[in-house]
Amino acid sequence: MALLRGGLHAHTNFSDGLLGPREMMEAYRERGFDFVAFTDHDDNLALGYEEAVRALMPGDGIVVIPGLEMTVLSLGGVHVGHLWGEREELYIYNHPSFPYVPPRRVMEVVHRLPPGMNVSAIEVCRAGILLPEFITPEIPLVKVASDDAHRLSDVGRAWVRVDARPDADSILRAIANGDVEIEVDEARQPAGVRVALSAGLRVGVGTLRYAARHWKEGHARPDACGEKQDRNGEGAPAAEGKRKGGVRA
């Protein structure tokens, strides 16, 4: 079964995005994505958001997953993505570089999240730019990548490949189980990240699949593609994105 390509973090004009849900969905579909999750901000959300997203489901050739990006003010504004299907749900610690939390303290923050916010994955990028320091065994969470799209030009900077059936529950369950690879657009990465990756940067958890190069811990070889993430074992990389035009992460 071919891996599904998908986005886990996209915004619309129901919060601080520039496009409507349908326009964003079509942008992802036109770029070859099999699924997209909408995660507008819970503290800046216009009425009718969930209805507008559900009106797109099942998505006409692309799976649409509803969600929210929640701001945890008690922890300094940490952002957590909440995605859900009919039976499954997934919590993702979004862009840990904004607000910045050192990798050694990430799990401390995770354990202090409000009850019920059971994070099982971490977004090892910000706005599609890899953050290598967060891909470490110190953080025993499933690593995912997203483009955090707010506008058309953001779409397709980073994504995941998931071993799942094309429905929201199967996709979310597979990610929680670590059956996922991360992939980025090499051309949109800063020079420092490209150099680190081409040098065979050691990785923390899972498999990083980027452009034509594939790595598993300790090896720079093209046949590492297809390895699945092991939340207790080896693994995948991450770099700092920049805020543009006043758009929130």
The verdict on residue 235 lying in a domain is no
The verdict on residue 131 lying in a domain is yes
Full domain range(s) for residue 170: 4-220
CA dist 89 and 172 (Å) reads 6
Decide: 106 and 137 in contact? Cβ < 8 Å.
no
Give residue 32's identity as a one-letter amino acid code. G
The verdict on residue 229 lying in a domain is no
Which CATH number is 96's domain given? Answer: 3.20.20.140
Decide: 27 and 19 in contact? Cβ < 8 Å.
yes
SS (H, E, C) the chain: CCCEEEEEEECCCCCCCCCCHHHHHHHHHHCCCCEEEEEEECCCCCCCHHHHHHCCCCCCCCEEEEEEEEEEHHHCCEEEEEEECCCCEEEEECCCECCECCHHHHHHHHHCCCCCCCEEEEECEECCEECHHHCCCCCCCEEECCCCECCHHHCCCEEEEECCCCCHHHHHHHHHCCCEEEEECHHHCCHHHHHHHHCCCCCCECCEEECCEEEECCEECCCCCCCCCCCCCCCECCCCCCCCCCCCC
- pLDDT tens figures, 188-197: 888 877 776 6
The verdict on residue 182 lying in a domain is yes
Question: What is the pLDDT of the chain when averaged over all its residues?
Answer: 82
Q: Looking at residue 246, what is its pLDDT? A: 35
155 burial (CB, 10 Å; 0-12 / 13-18 / 19+) is buried
Q: Is 48 left (phi over 0), alpha (psi -120 to 50) or beta?
A: left
The verdict on residue 134 lying in a domain is yes
- pLDDT tens figures, 132-176: 889 888 999 999 999 999 999 999 999 999 999 999 999 999 999
The verdict on residue 107 lying in a domain is yes
- pLDDT tens figures, 16-52: 999 999 999 999 999 999 999 999 999 999 999 999 9
Total domain count, the chain: 1
